[in-house]
Structure 1
Amino acid sequence: MLKVLSHVRAKPESAATLRELFRASLPATRAEPGCIRYVMLEHRRDPALLAFVEEWADDAAFKQHFTTPHMIALAAQLDTLVAEPPQMHKYEEIDPV
């Protein structure tokens, strides 16, 4: 199982717009084959900083996520809304519960 932690920093004037775009994509993302968990978080003191906690069945499911219509549409708008490129870090669980 693949675990991914991602951070996206919006431009201050675009924080609400970016948050709503991602929020609108959540149901479609969670319905994707191989998506086990997909949670969007907002930083408590910095509403321009969003984080995503993701679990995917495998790398193939994660890669497929970026080819879906909802993610292609969202990606087309990112450049005008983000302050810096999104950061993604992939992890493997080493001590399962």
Structure 2
Amino acid sequence: MIVTVIGTVTARPQTREDLRRLLADQVAPARAEPGCINYDFHVDAADPCVFVFYENWKSQADLDAHMQMPHLKPLLSQIDRLLAKPIAIRRLTMISPLA
């Protein structure tokens, strides 16, 4: 069963570039992980401090393994300094066939 995650990350205005760089650095390693179908990084068209990830994983176990990856540590260790509010994570189960 494919697991979809939509994660919204809101930067403090003064840390926007630092956060953008750290988030962008997650894309290539995440895409290379077993079970990653896609891992796409966006910025809100109306608010440059809001970043959104759209991710699809082959299973919950693959997503759980992703959350333990060492490449996330530089980001996770600075969350309090970088974020204006907590990360909003929405988990979905895909019911249509994968495009």
Q: Who is 1:48 aligned against?
A: 49
Aligned-pair CA distance for 1:94: 2.2
Whichever residue aligns with residue 88 of structure 1, its letter is: I
Within 5 Å, give how 1:1-97 maps onto structure 2. 1-96=2-97
Aligned-pair CA distance for 1:72: 2.0
**Percent of aligned pairs with the same residue?**
33
Gaps of 5+ in 2: none
Aligned partner of residue 4 in structure 1, secondary structure? strand
Aligned partner of residue 46 in structure 1, secondary structure? coil
Whichever residue aligns with residue 15 of structure 1, its letter is: R
CA distance in 1, matches of 2:73, 2:34: 17
Q: TM-score, normalised by structure 1?
A: 0.94
CA distance in 2, matches of 1:15, 1:80: 11
Aligned-pair CA distance for 1:28: 0.6
Aligned-pair CA distance for 1:49: 0.1
Alpha carbons 2:22, 2:74 under 8 Å: kept: no
